[in-house]
Amino acid sequence: MSLQEELRGAPPAKLVVDHVSKWFRQKRQMVHALDDISFEVAEGEFIVMVGPSGCGKSSLLDIIAGLEKPDKGRVLADNQPVLHPGRHRLVMFQDSALFPWLNVFGNVMFGLKLKPGLTNRERREVARFYLHLVGLEKFTEANVHELSGGMKQRVALARALAPNPRVLLMDEPFAALDAMTREQLYGDIQRIWHEHRKTIVFVTHNVREAACLADRVIIMSPTPGRIREIVPILLPRPRDFNDIEIAQHAATLTATLKQYGAAATATTR
């Protein structure tokens, strides 16, 4: 935090991504995946990263989670350097990644093993609370193979929320779902975010999804991934995915992506 922020009494950022760059080796060449990425995320903020395939969104999310290390720069969480995965930053992936040998309740209980200092009774109470929060309290004994895709993602969301992480990292969690299920989950995630003010960093290819969910949208361009613009979405909540204002913001985001995509293509020729 700068001296000016301290004098104003501003709280420190929940997350700080500070000049992060990353390279990967592919076959016989090095690929520059991320280039000089910097931004901050405030406590309780909902940030969405959007960009074309190959812009490094998921790689950046992995670095924030501590699953990958940057080659340059650093990430701070609660003013501490992120050096490895931790229970305060949990990731929800596109695939629900549920354990098929456990039922719904068992999957959420498994996530609570990350939460120290709880008795088994307390863990069971927490699991029931979060299953109620995602609307699955009647399915606690159901097996994973009996669930629809949307229900599996609800279980995954309950499992991620149950240990009460300080930051929830979501990597295209709704991409594989049908349109109706996605829209229902947009409402659910907004309601949960509003009630609990969890700090969320969300990755998507879907610009309308970004406009529907985000406080701010980080627009990235590929080869290597760079931040081109950070766009605030100043719309009241809850937001309807089909609202005309969401469509207008999505159109603006699409135009910006096309602008920088064309520029990136031109510079690589």
Q: What is the pLDDT of residues 113-157, one digit of tens each?
A: 877 788 889 999 999 999 998 889 999 999 999 998 889 989 999
pLDDT of residue 11: 65
List pLDDT tens digits, range 202-243.
999 999 999 999 999 999 998 889 999 999 999 999 999 999
> Position of tokens 């501590």?
66
Check whether 44 has a pLDDT greater than 50: yes
Nearest Cα residue to 50 out of 189, 199, 202, 238? 202
Q: What is the average pLDDT score of the chain?
A: 88
Backbone angles phi, psi at 240, to 5 degrees: -95, 125
Q: Outline which parts of the chain fall under CATH 3.40.50.300.
A: 12-88+168-268
Quote the pLDDT of residue 29: 83
CB atoms within 10 A of CB 95: 14
- pLDDT value at 57 more than 50: yes
pTM value? 0.88
Sequence-separated (6 or more) residues with CB below 8 Å from residue 138: none
What is 12-88+168-268's CATH number, 3.40.50.300, 3.10.310.30, 3.40.1650.10, 3.10.400.10? 3.40.50.300
Cis before 224 (ω within 30) = yes
**pLDDT over 60 (residue 4):** no
Task: Count Cβ atoms below 10 Å from residue 74 Cβ, excluding itself.
Answer: 15
Beta-strand pair 72-77/15-26? antiparallel
| Residue found under tokens 């879907």 | 206
Question: Which residue is associated with the tokens 């016989």?
Answer: 28
Average the pLDDT over 169-184 and give the result: 88
What does the pLDDT read at residue 9?
52
- Separation CA 123–CA 109 (nearest Å): 7
Percent with pLDDT over 70 in the chain: 93
Residue type, 191: R
User: Quick check: 207 and 250 in contact, CB under 8 A?
Assistant: yes
User: How far is the C-alpha of 2 from the C-alpha of 39, rounded, in Å?
Assistant: 14
Q: What is the pLDDT of residue 127?
A: 93
Banded pLDDT at 79 (limits 50, 70, 90): very high
Please report the pLDDT score of residue 262 as a whole number: 47
- Residue 230's beta-bridge partner residues? 218
